[in-house]
Amino acid sequence: MPTGLKQLIGIVVVVVVAALGGWAWTRTLPSANAEPVDPVVSLATVGFGHGYGIYGWDSGLQVVLVYDGGEPWMTCSGLVETKPTDSRRCIVPFANGQTVMWAISTVDGKTGTLVVNETSSALAQGTTVVHLVFVGDRLVVTQYQRSMARLQQRDARETVEELFAHDPELAPWAVVFR
């Protein structure tokens, strides 16, 4: 077989393998047009001075937000009312006159993105606890990764209260869930 033909066959094989590999890799990426997934667990309340939001998806993503200094006039919206990429969006007023807008986006219910006042952070599969508090006029957002049983709508508040009550870092906010 002539050397030129061998080289041509080699090039064709490399191009085909590369193309198939690239196609297979792109199939694992989320689609840019993918629709957000609504949580199956969704509880939220804000009283004078504190509040929470509990959100859970069938595929394993769970987010618990704790508002330290929140006011009871929180407004939230779901898939229908929000921009097309958000699974959940809320505006929470605080006692110091400031407001916080946050949104959770997920297209697979496993991982997602949390945006708090236009600052984004990744949400990994599992439970992410987010504490929001103002220190003076500065918003402090702290995230904690925890292991917790899959949340169910019927007992989500009690499950989260139990986690907080037995976790030294989260225990100061357990009262929020009572």
The confidence score (pLDDT) of residue 6 equals 66
Q: Read off the pLDDT of each residue in 3-20 and give the average, rounded to a whole number.
A: 57
**Pick from 30, 35, 120, 122: nearest CA to 80:** 35
Q: What is the pTM of this model?
A: 0.76
Q: Please check the confidence at residue 17 and state whether its pLDDT lies above 50.
A: no
Cα–Cα distance, 43 to 55 (Å, whole number): 7
Helix (H, G, I), strand (E, B) or coil at 144: strand
